[in-house]
A and B are shown apart, each in its own frame.
Chain A
């Protein structure tokens, strides 16, 4: 089931990216037709929120990895105490993978937003220089 989730997440991200590029091209065409300079794209998320997203991503990865280690250790300990062979269910593995995968996704999105913010700030700083 977790594979279905990852496919859905990747498909949603890809479609939204494709739509974003398509709409931006359409808008730029219209600007050029009217003879108006095309404005720079605004970053979707402010800088502080971008860092927050990236940090939450790191935290989720850490929690996911720590939970995996803790579950495997307790399974081993429980098996030793009870004398029966215990195994981790696929659903639990999926949730742990979901935590780490979700964290990695958030980290990627956060860092991408940080880069977009830096780019926007740099181009804003360059504007007054260009007008001189």
Chain B
């Protein structure tokens, strides 16, 4: 009996190690954050103000994540359309990715608004 395989076993091992590493790093990051918040609370008798990531960082992350998704969806739809009836599954997969594009677009708009708010605040226009 022949065995049919296309994925290497090491892929799952790498993912498992990645998950464990993430868990360990996240545990110690949260502990550090908690110690800092407790120290602030004891010193100032007030909760530490929430430190959000800078708007430019959020905008960049959304853009960097969005670009490959847009490119992949476009590739799926174009290659699906060029193959005629045989490309139907690719077209369907491309269409299933459209809601992700819409959500990424909304996120991009939200982050761009936040970023432009910071710029106009810096210029004293708000």
Contact residues in A for B99 (Cβ distance below 8 Å): 55
Say whether B126 faces chain A, with CB atoms less than 8 Å apart: no
Are B45 and A30 in touch, CB under 8 angstroms? no
Are A5 and B1 in touch, CB under 8 angstroms? no
Say whether B12 faces chain A, with CB atoms less than 8 Å apart: yes
Are A49 and B107 in touch, CB under 8 angstroms? yes
Considering the complex, give the chain B residue whose CB is closest to the CB of A4. Answer: B16
SS class, residues of chain B in contact with chain A: helix
How many residues on chain B are close to A (CB under 8 Å)?
A: 42
User: What is the CB-to-nearest-CB distance from A93 to chain B, in angstroms, rounded to a whole number?
Assistant: 10
Considering the complex, give the chain B residue whose CB is closest to the CB of A34. Answer: B45
User: What is the CB-to-nearest-CB distance from A98 to chain B, in angstroms, rounded to a whole number?
Assistant: 7
Considering the complex, give the chain B residue whose CB is closest to the CB of A52. Answer: B103
Q: Binary interface profile of B, 9-24, with partner A (CB < 8 Å = 1, else 0)?
A: 1011101100110110
Are B2 and A87 in touch, CB under 8 angstroms? yes
Docked CA distance A16–B15 (Å): 18
- Interface set of B (CB-CB < 8 Å, partner A): 1-9, 11-13, 15-16, 19-20, 22-23, 26-27, 30-31, 34, 37-38, 41-42, 45-47, 50, 89, 93, 96-97, 99-100, 103-104, 106-107, 110
- Interface set of A (CB-CB < 8 Å, partner B): 1-2, 4-5, 8-9, 11-12, 15-16, 19-20, 23, 26-27, 30-31, 34, 36, 39, 42, 48-49, 51-52, 55-56, 59, 62-63, 66, 71, 75, 78, 84-89, 91-92, 94-95, 98
What are 25 A-B pairs with beta-carbon distances under 8 A? A1-B9, A8-B20, A9-B19, A16-B26, A27-B34, A31-B41, A34-B42, A55-B103, A59-B96, A63-B93, A71-B4, A75-B4, A84-B1, A85-B1, A87-B3, A88-B5, A89-B4, A89-B5, A91-B5, A91-B7, A91-B9, A91-B12, A92-B6, A92-B7, A94-B9
